[in-house]
Amino acid sequence: MPVSWTNYLGVRDMCTVISHNAGGYSFYKSAEHGRITRFRPNGVPLDRPGHYAYLRDDETGDYWSISWQPVGKDLKQTTYQCRHGLSYSKFISDYLDIHAEQLLFIPIHDDVELWDIVIKNNGSRLRKLSIFSYVEFSFQHIEIDNQSFQMSLYASGSNYQDGIIEYDFFYEPWNYHFMAANFEPDSYDGVRDRFLGNYRTETNPIAVERGKCCNSTELGGNHCGALHKRLILEPGEEIRLIFMLGVGSRAEKGRLIKKKYSDPNNVDQAFQELKSYWHQKLSALQVKTPHQGMYTMLNTWTIYQAETCVVWSRFASFIEVGGRTGLGYRDTSQDAMSCIHTNPAKCKQRILELLNGLTSMGYGLHLFDPEVFKSKEEKLPGVKLPTIKPMPKPADIIHGLEDVCSDDALWLVATVCEYVKETGDMAFFDEVVPYADKGEGTVYEHLKKILDFSAEHIGRHGICQGLRADWNDCLNLGGGESAMVSFIHYWSLNIFIEAAQYLGRDADVQKYSSIAAKVKSACEEILWDGKWYIRGFTKTGRKIGTQESSEGKLFLNGQSWAVYSGAASEERGRMCMDAVNEHLFSRFGLHLVWPAYSQPDDEIGYITRVYKGIKENGSIFSHPNPWAVIAECILGRGDRAMKFYDAMLPYNQNDMIEIREAEPYSYCQFIMGKDHSAHGRARHPWLTGSAGWFYFAATNYMLGIRVNFNGLMIDPCIPKEWQEFEVQRKWRGATYKIIVKNPECIMKGVKSIRLNGKKVESPIPPQKAGSVNEIKVLMG
């Protein structure tokens, strides 16, 4: 592969990010402070080190690894496979009649990464082999793992007993990791450089070359988990070995884990539990469409990616390598909206953390660690460490307006309402949550503060101020104005008004309806530019995203949000989305802005200082693409919605990896735009809001199955050649089997709905928990 294709293991506290070549790293809870194995990010060779299993032919001295790297055998003599699945990865090699498999996963209920290894002698003679595990331990905190080593190099140690290498960290006496196996090792190394040998790498470790470790452990230095076992395999014989990379000390965890997972039945059971965990989740929404790529992605990979962003947040990948901890306010709000039906508990946790990260002024803290707000007892044990920055106090992370992004908190309004719509938990609005700075309020009051903040922070045209940035981190308008934020404000106001109506809070319905009317008329009067909407104003009043400019004429978000928010009239909506189709479309998706900027202009912001065609300056930024899909669905143009959806679907780029390079099962943050020489190359997999939003756009707007406070909405917008599709949706304990037929070949419009044979209207009220309901929909 041209780049590392990665996967995520672990669904609770321990996580491993692993490549198709077994490169990668593990952490416990925090990728910044809880690192288990070391990674040399952005290094050469690619993705080192990793979680490696070496095999050695003890008769010839020849050796290889079960994953292609790190030994990197000649592919003419060796066959390698890697399979990434939902929370597991499997490496397979076939070399000189030895078939080997290494399955990696983290059981749901134990903080240990298991390597379930099978080795089979497919030849006709007896074979004498050795197997070695290898992981490199880390100094726990990314900062001290990569900066001054004058303390850390002497603060970590390894020791060996009972077949277990235990790694400790003197700074944090509660912190241990271990490597164990289901056998008594023949030799071991806890000291990295004794295993590798000086001036060698993971490609040719001296211990593997020699066929024996040197039983090293030491206090101080760099450490590893290398366990070695000699094997004799008769022709046709197969052997199964389990390695365990765990969190905790030998005494408290290591021995117990070694005992438990030395029984292969427990390994099988843990893997089965993981499978059921995902089956259960995925069964919350399954679709069957005439478009295979669409249902393959929706039923597995897109929702899996969306969950990954919610569970592990956005700071652990091979690009985000763990230097930041916590939550990005806007990213987390949006992520948490996409998978409430598959992971309500985690989404609720994120929502509460974000509510707590809201100031009493009504703005959210752009990037914050929820740990800061936890009471002392809940925090990790606190010992003052010599080289670690102290944990800030809440007051230290509240900087006032200077650091506020104008959109951050607005996203939370929709997310909270989606949470209630999905779960039916109306009482959630009345839960009391503290503000980040002072005081507390109900969830409902938090939402009002968010909406009020945007209403109060408007510029001289009546459009929301841009502040440090809006959704686009690189549009830094300060007191200038952002069309996108006014549209999001309008969208959030309407969502909130619906909630207030449902709760019977009439005074609020009135108050916020009148704010919404003002916002809408400001948008329609000020932002229309003749063919499309402008993107905003600089602080000196220059228009951004206007036909009059030579660069940055047309911005995607100004158009999609005009429509999605409901602020644009239908006529203008059609015109501006036509402009999007005409100027921003490419076969890899929609560009964020056109033409890209070539001249720095600090009144507009950092966007003008990014190379053309990259990231925010005219790349095909993925995250806004699904908003355009939603806009087209609202306009009823199902063919166009599908055209936009299809262009970016990773599945469709499976056969152009020489251009795309990145994983064809993951949305990436961006794809190089037409102004860049590498047009079509995708970068930054996994951690992007596009997964959640594409999932939301496809299920809620293309397939049109949405949940509301009081019912299930059915409002598809599909390509006209689709004759039929099916959705199975679980909602508030009941199951809905929905079959939609489209005999008239239309794109939008529902003629009739039958629920269990009876004619009904959308929204369909929630049915009894446990019931299985058949819904037949006829478009027309």
Binding mask 418-457 for ligand GLC (x = CB under 6 A): ----------------------------------------
Assess 335 for contact with ligand GLC (CB under 6 A).
no
Q: Which is nearer to ligand GLC, 445 or 473 (CB)?
A: 473
CA 316 to chain centre: 9
Closest CA to 295 of 280, 282, 276, 281: 282
Q: Which stretch binds ligand GLC (CB under 6 A): 155-163, 431-439, 466-474, 482-490?
A: 466-474
Cβ-based nearer residue to ligand GLC, 190 or 466: 466
- Cβ distance to ligand GLC smaller for residue 483 or 499: 483
Per DSSP bridges, beta strands 478-482 and 465-467 are: antiparallel
Tell me, by CB under 6 A, how many residues bind ligand GLC: 10
Nearer to ligand GLC among residue 209 and residue 603 (C-beta) = 603
Tokens of 357: 């990260």
Taking CB under 6 A as the binding criterion, the range among 60-68, 128-136, 324-332, 452-460 that sits at the site for ligand GLC is 324-332
Q: Is 669 in the site for ligand GLC (CB under 6 A)?
A: yes
3-state DSSP assignment of residue 160: strand
* Residue number, nearest CB to ligand GLC: 473
Binding part of the chain for ligand GLC, among 326-334, 546-554, 630-638, 672-680 by CB under 6 A, reads: 326-334
331 binds ligand GLC (CB under 6 A): yes
* Residue 329 and residue 365 in contact, taking contact as beta carbons nearer than 8 Å: yes
Cβ proximity of 772 and 737 under 8 Å: yes
In whole angstroms, the minimum distance from the beta carbon of 588 to ligand GLC comes to 17
CB of 626 to ligand GLC, least distance (A): 13
* DSSP result, 465-528: EEESBSSSTT---EEEEEHHHHHHHHHHHHHHHHHHHHHT-HHHHHHHHHHHHHHHHHHHHHSB
Which whole-number Å values give the CA distances from 160 to 189, 250, 252, 713, in the listed order? 9, 9, 15, 61
Cα gap 514→493, rounded to integer Å = 10
Q: Which stretch binds ligand GLC (CB under 6 A): 123-131, 328-336, 500-508, 593-601?
A: 328-336
Least Cα distance to 156 among 166, 170, 136 occurs for 170
26 near ligand GLC, judged by CB under 6 A: no
CB 405, min distance to ligand GLC, A: 8
CB 656 → ligand GLC: shortest distance, Å? 23
Nearer to ligand GLC, 107 or 322 (CB): 322
Part of the chain binding ligand GLC (CB under 6 A), chosen from 467-475, 511-519, 561-569, 639-647: 467-475
Smallest distance from the beta carbon of 40 to ligand GLC, in angstroms?
24
Integer Cα distance of 604 and 521 in angstroms:
25
Q: How many residues does the chain have?
A: 780
Instruction: Give me the DSSP letters along 72-128.
Output: T--TTT-EEEEEEETTEEEEEEEETTEEEEEEEE--TTSSEEEEEEEEEE-SSS-EE
Q: Which of 31/241 has CB closer to ligand GLC? A: 31
- Stretch near ligand GLC under the rule CB under 6 A, chosen from 132-140, 470-478, 729-737, 753-761: 470-478
Compute the least distance from the CB of residue 321 to ligand GLC, in Å: 15
Q: Which is nearer to ligand GLC, 133 or 472 (CB)?
A: 472
Least Å from the CB of residue 96 to ligand GLC: 46
Considering only 471, 491, 561, 588, the residue that binds ligand GLC (CB under 6 A) is: 471
Q: Does 646 bind ligand GLC (CB under 6 A)?
A: no
**Cβ at position 331, least distance to ligand GLC in Å:** 5
Q: Which segments of 285-356 does DSSP mark as H helices, in order?
A: 292-296, 302-312, 329-338, 344-356
Contact 281, 342 (CB under 8 A): yes
Pairing of strands 724-731, 285-288: antiparallel
With binding defined as CB under 6 A, does residue 328 bind ligand GLC?
yes
Burial environment of residue 713 by CB neighbours within 10 A (0 to 12, 13 to 18, 19 or more): middle
Q: Is 675 an active-site residue? A: no
How many Cβ atoms are within 10 Å of 391's Cβ, its own excluded? 14
CA-to-CA distance for 413 and 362, rounded, in angstroms? 12
Among the residue ranges 151-159, 214-222, 323-331, 730-738, the one whose residues contact ligand GLC (CB under 6 A) = 323-331
Collapse the DSSP code of 141 into the 3-class scheme (helix H, G, I; strand E, B; otherwise coil) and give the result.
coil
Q: Which is nearer to ligand GLC, 358 or 497 (CB)?
A: 358
CA distance 576 to 528: 9
Query: Of 473, 524, 578, 646, which one interacts with ligand GLC (CB under 6 A)?
Result: 473
The least CB distance from residue 561 to ligand GLC, in Å, is 13
Closest approach, Cβ 676 to ligand GLC, in A, equals 17
In the complex, the smallest distance separating the C-beta of residue 470 from ligand GLC, rounded to whole angstroms, is 8
Cβ nearer to ligand GLC, comparing 24 with 328: 328
Residue of the chain from 166, 189, 422, 616 that contacts ligand GLC (CB under 6 A): 616
**Contact call for residue 168 and ligand GLC (CB under 6 A):** no
Instruction: For ligand GLC, give the closer residue by CB, 258 or 623.
Output: 623
Residue 364 and residue 373: Cα distance in Å, rounded? Answer: 14
Q: Which is nearer to ligand GLC, 616 or 715 (CB)?
A: 616
The reply to whether 706 sits near ligand GLC by the rule CB under 6 A is: no
Residue span 566-605 as binding mask against ligand GLC, x where in contact by CB under 6 A, dash where not:
----------------------------------------
> Could you count the other beta carbons within 10 Å of the beta carbon of residue 112?
25
Nearer to ligand GLC, 437 or 473 (CB): 473
Within 76-115, the residues that bind ligand GLC by CB under 6 A are none
> Taking contact as CB under 6 A, which single stretch among the options 128-136, 287-295, 327-335, 728-736 is the one that binds ligand GLC?
327-335
Identify whether the C-beta of residue 576 lies closer than 8 Å to the C-beta of residue 532: yes
Report the distance separating Cα 362 and Cα 372, nearest Å: 19
The DSSP code sequence of 166-204 is EEEETTSTT-EEEEEESS--SEEEEEHHHHH-TT--TTS
Choice between 421 and 591, CB closer to ligand GLC: 591
Catalytic residue among 473, 578, 601, 639: 473
* Min CB(610)–ligand GLC separation in Å: 10
Label the pairing between strands 176-181 and 79-85: unpaired
Q: What is the DSSP letter of 654?
A: G
Taking a C-beta distance cutoff of 8 angstroms, is the pair 753, 775 a contact? yes
Cβ atoms of 697 and 39 closer than 8 Å: no
* Nearest distance from C-beta of residue 472 to ligand GLC, angstroms: 5
The enclosing H or E element of 274 equals helix 264-282
Encoded tokens for 591: 């560009």
Instruction: Name 691's Cβ contacts closer than 8 Å, sequence gap at least 6.
Output: 302, 305, 306, 308, 309, 338, 666, 667
Only one of the segments 151-159, 202-210, 251-259, 469-477 lies at the binding site for ligand GLC (rule: CB under 6 A); that segment is 469-477
- How far apart are the C-alpha atoms of 679 and 674, rounded to whole Å? 5
Candidates 187, 472, 608, 666: give the one binding ligand GLC (CB under 6 A): 472
Told to check if 330 binds ligand GLC by CB under 6 A, we report yes
Catalytic residue positions, numbered: 473
Rule CB under 6 A: which residues touch ligand GLC?
328, 330-331, 471-474, 616, 623, 669
